Each structure stands twice: as C-alpha cells, then as structure tokens.
Structure 1
C-alpha cells in the first residue's frame, strides 16, 4: 500500500492576487514552473558555477546516519571544501547533503542573481539558505523550527517532494521533543505493515526541476529526495497563524534547550526512549481509531 498523496497544483505563472487568494490564505502548496527564468541565477546557477564562486569555502555536511546522542541539535556530521563536495556529487552517489547553508554571507555577489518575489508577503531577507544533495540522497521527514512559509527554488536536476500539514502529525510517528518523524521510515516506499498509521495520513507529492518554485505553507512537514544531484534555495516568510507562532516560540525557548540538556545528560538512553515512544504513541492512536 502506498501513501495517500495527491499532486501539488502546478501553474506556469501566478499573480500576487491569485497566490494570496488561492494558496497563501488557504495554506495550500503550489508549484510555479520556471518561476526563476527572469533571474540571472536561472542561466548561471549550476553545480559548476557554485564550485567556481565558492569552491574554497568549508561547508557543513549531513547524512542519514543516526543522530549522535551527544551532539547538539542540528550539528553537522562533517565538513568539506565546496569544490571537493561538488566533485563528489557529480562523480558518484553520496548521502552527504548541505542543509540550511547561508552561502550569501560568504559570497555576497550571489545575492545579485535573484529577486525576492512580488507575491504579497514579507520575506526574511537576512537568511536565504541553500540545500545540496546527491543522487538518491534525502532529508528525513520534518518541519522547520520556525514553522515559516517557505519558498523553495530548485536548480539543476530533479527533486521529489512529499508534504503533510500539521494536522497529519499524529499519523507520522513524530519523535517527541523534535521536529522529525521516526527515522526508520522510508517515505519513498514506506512499510505500511510496520508503520500502519501512515495509511491514514493525507498529503501531497510533486517533482521540481531547474527553475521551479514550490510554495510550502507554514509548518508543513516535508521530505525531499534528490532524483539527480542538484541544489535549491529557500526564502522564508514568518508564520502568521497564532498557533504556529506560539509553536515556533516554544521550539526556540523550550524544545532546543531541553533537547541539548537531555542529550548531554542521558545520551543514547534519551534517543532510544524517544524513538520507542514515537512508535508506541502513534500505534496507540491507530488502535483507538480501529475501536
């Protein structure tokens, strides 16, 4: 049995009025094909160009290994020069990904290559971030700590995206005191017998190609899988729903400090308890639904 996913709406162009009315206010995702074609980045940005302008930069890398119980929240697994990392991406499959890297602080001229979209929202202009991945690498199903509205622009190759809104959290085996679903789940081909609650989750799926923009509404869960090596840029707009703003504040002021403390004091015991609790609690929800 596959996940219950419907296709994200795809449009070839969109006005500010249509975006606000049909997607932003409804908190519904949408893909705008070739959105960046008027940007300099549309013609310039590929892996070779990034290697040329940022090859000497040291970049933080993440992969799909289990979280180090002693590591702080979102700690990278390794560092590598960007030129060596891009060579790795292009020459063979790798699980290493770049996650939430603000390249513009180190290569400010790249900011001239794009424009903030005129879509009727206010962007956080201090934190545009880039994400890179190799063939078949993926991010775990998660939602962002600030529950922001995300505008995700893809460059080079193809990328698969699976999305769920916050109302589906109870079916996704959310790990306590975290922003992720259980890491044992492969959302590309999940084992429904092992993770039965997933059959109740309703979400969206789409693919992105060079130049496409995906709007991810505030607080949405997202899983990203690189069909080919490539990279994306995210721009953010603050959450506006009071519940999401409260949730974001809690994440920064309570969740992260508590997580770092528990990892430091309990280490692996804490991580094992969280993963066990995620499955037990979610399976209990399914039992109650069946009754």
Structure 2
C-alpha cells in the first residue's frame, strides 16, 4: 500500500476524483459531462494485472529496441521533435529536457535494478503492436467489449493508439493536456494523477502552440514562479492515486500531471487513446471547445504572420481593453 509521505508536495488545492465500480451507471454520466472518474474493479485490464510485473516484462516484452526516455531529473516533460527545428529557425532557444533512445527490455530492467542516486532516470514508453512480443497475447485478452461500449455510447472516434508505460518510482510526467479521450489503466504499482479542467487553461500557462512543449504547462509545480504565473494560485484541481486494476477516464483537453509514487517501486500502465467524436456546437460552448477554438486561432496567426514573436503583440493589440465589462 502507500501513504501520504510518498506523494510529492505541491502548493495546490485538490479534491478527490470520484471512484466508482466498473458496473456503476453513473460512470457514463461523468463521461457524458466530460468529467474524470476512476473506474475501480475493472475487468478490462485484469489479464495484465494478474501477470505483469518487471520480471514478466523482462521475459515477455520483446522487440529489438523499445522506446526509452532518459532524464537527469525526475521530470519527463514531453516535447515535439518536429517543432525543435522551427524554434531554431526563428531564434528561439530550446534545450530538450530528455533524450530518447532504443533499448532492449533486459537492459532497461537491469538499469532500474542497479539505479542509484545521481544516475539518469529512465521511462519506457512503447506503442503496443505486434513487435513487442508475447505481451500482445495478454493485451488481446482485455475486455475490449467494455471499452467499445463506452466508445459507442459517447460517440467517440476510433481508437488511435495504445501506449505501454514502464516507469521508475518517483518519475513525473509534468502537467499537460491531450486532444484525445483517454482511458488510463494502472496495471502494476501506484500512480498519482492530478487533473485540472479546461476552464483552468489560463491558470496553467501553456507554452505557445509553435513551441516544442506545446500542450505543456510552463509552471514548475515543484517551485512555481508566482511573479511570472500569478493565476496559478487560482488553479483548482482534483486527484486520485490509482491502484492495480483501476482505470482513470481523462477527458479530452483536461490537464493532467502524473507521478509514480516515491519509494513504492516501479509502475506499469497502459493508455487507450480515442479520437474525439463529431463536434456539434451547442451554446454556450463548453470549456474544452473553447480551448480547441483558441488553438485553431493561434495556429492560423502563426501561419499568416510567419514570425511567432508577432503573435502575442497582435493579440494584445486586438484585445487591448476593447472587450472588458
């Protein structure tokens, strides 16, 4: 089990994410309202929960080279490699916070077991496909009927990808949002997930769209700079510690910060990402729809102006006290 001492400390106001049994019909109410919910006692990933640990992964997770991220700190902040060159062309400094490499599972597990303070940290993030060995056999035994039922009921698009996540204890994926619906399944170990609604968009200060850290918060939760990010004090989130067998519904455009608990051993998780369904506009617009609109406006301005440094001044000129109450 776990206790509060294994959770990182942040200057945040957090409520508990509702936790419901997988057969509870209220789950669909939360999903329909685009609100997070922990689905407990799920049979969806039971074949993995019953078998997967690091010893099993070492035996059954194949492939000539699995995708592993390496970091000098506990943070693994995602960045878009395609946008790195864009920044360089426009004189924007960017230093990748992690590096990606290919590694066999035996090497990955060995380095986890031999890890000591001061060593680089590792985080395996591998797409699940036919190249990853016998793990796929367990994957095919998941309760896909349950998942397909939720997908159909809520009119989502197709399943776009599944990601297998093997993490060291204490690793953190900093706060970000995705443009897809997500069922996040916890297989082995414990993970804490902190979520914020799309309405907290301005409180979390996302990087500009053209930046490699697009969709990531600029706020360092460990040491928030309130002089630069004063509205972060107003952010109101919710959290849950996921146990093996739990599935967390992370709604589209909801911010999420994920950490493997400290002093609790490695963790194994799997993502189920679904495209958003057809958009039907009903007014007033929902918060996640407003975020989508803002991204489209920002993208258009970057493409038209060509110089990303001109986007901010233009938006300020357009708004500039014109739309106040």
Same fold per superposition (TM over 0.5): yes
Structure 1 residue 216 displacement after superposition: 0.6
Whole-angstrom distance in 1 between the partners of 2:37 and 2:162: 20
For the structure 1 residues 95 and 169, does the alpha-carbon distance in structure 2 shift closer, same or farther, using more than 3 Å as the test?
Answer: farther
The equivalent of 2:12 in structure 1 is 3
Whether the 8 Å contact between 2:44 and 2:142 is mirrored in structure 1 is no
Please list the CA deviations of residues 114-148 of structure 1 after superposition, one character each: whole Å capped at 9, or x if unmatched. 1222553247345222122111111121112xx21
Give the match for residue 88 of structure 1. Answer: 111
Partner of 1:237: 274
- Report the counterpart of residue 114 of structure 1 in structure 2: 142
Displacement of 1:200:
0.6
Normalised TM-score (structure 1)? 0.73
Say if 1:154 and 1:233, in contact at 8 Å, map to a contact too.
Answer: yes
- Specify which of 46, 56, 81 is matched with residue 39 of structure 1: 46
Question: TM-score normalised to the size of structure 2?
Answer: 0.66
* Helix, strand or coil at the partner of 2:122: coil
Cα distance change of structure 1 residues 189 and 48 upon mapping to structure 2, 3 Å threshold:
farther
Q: What secondary structure sits across from 1:121 in the alignment?
A: helix
Q: In the alignment, is residue 216 of structure 1 matched against residue 250 of structure 2?
A: yes
What does the per-residue CA deviation read over 1:68-115, in whole Å, with 9 as the maximum and x for residues that have no partner?
A: 99943599522211221122234436532233x212331342432312
Name the CA shift for 1:4/1:50 in 2 (closer, same or farther; >3 Å).
Answer: same
Runs of 5+ unmatched residues, structure 1: 282-288
Q: Any gaps of 5 or more consecutive residues in structure 2? A: 1-9, 85-95, 280-287, 317-323
**How many residues are aligned here?**
255
Rounded to whole Å, the distance in 2 between the matches of 1:35 and 1:86 is 28
Closer/same/farther in 2, CA of residues 63 and 124 from structure 1, 3 Å limit: farther
Equivalents in 1 of 2:80, 2:217: separation in Å? 20
Larger Rg: 2
Name which of 229, 233, 253 aligns with 1:199: 233
